[in-house]
Amino acid sequence: MEKTKGFWRALLKEKIGVVKPEDAWSLRMDESLELYQVPPGWKRFLQDHAYARYSLNRSLTEFILLFHVLWEPHKRQGRIQMRCFQQQCHECFSKHEEPEFTVESASKVLDRLIVTIRKECYGEHIEDADISEVVIHSTGPHRRELCEACQLGLHKGSQDGPRAYND
């Protein structure tokens, strides 16, 4: 299991370097990131159908991620801000926990994000069938009453990849 910021940055650098080696992308975790407060020029993506474990509840549970992405083509530079929504403990219902990611789950999240970036920022046409699928089965139910994203009204049901919001 892995949840460090350095882990996410290294994995992004590795994965984006394969498809866009000439471009520089950075990643910053931001627990204050909000869906409806996006600076001009940034795009936002909400990804569900990702899985992690929580320390108090060892079952594999669905979690939600929010990304804000800025692509500056004249600099060949992109920035990503990421928020992992927390979940309340299944036993005490009070403490919010951050998810612990497997390498497999984090890879799947970033693969989907990179496909979305290629579509939305670079204007590439990529068929969903071109995405290598990693099947991860949840060992626990998604309990909406314990999910921070559900409590905030952000989790609107299952989806295969990040959703772009254009308003």
The predicted-structure confidence for 126-148, as pLDDT tens digits, reads as follows 876 544 444 344 445 566 666 66
| Secondary structure of the chain in HEC code, one letter for each residue | CECCHHHHHHHHHHHHHHHCCCCEEEEEECCCCCCCCCCCCCEEEEEEEEEEECCCCCCEEEEEEEEEEEEECCCCEEEEEEEECCEECCCCCCCEECCEECHHHHHHHHHHHHHHHHHHCCCCCCCHHHCCCCCCCCCCCCCHHHEHHHHCCCCCCCCCCCEEECC
**For the chain, percent of residues with pLDDT exceeding 90:** 38
What's the pLDDT tens digit per position in 26-66?
Answer: 999 998 888 888 999 999 998 876 777 666 556 666 777 88
Domain ranges of the chain: 5-165
Using one digit for the tens of pLDDT, what is the confidence trace for 92-124? 555 666 677 888 888 989 999 999 999 999 999
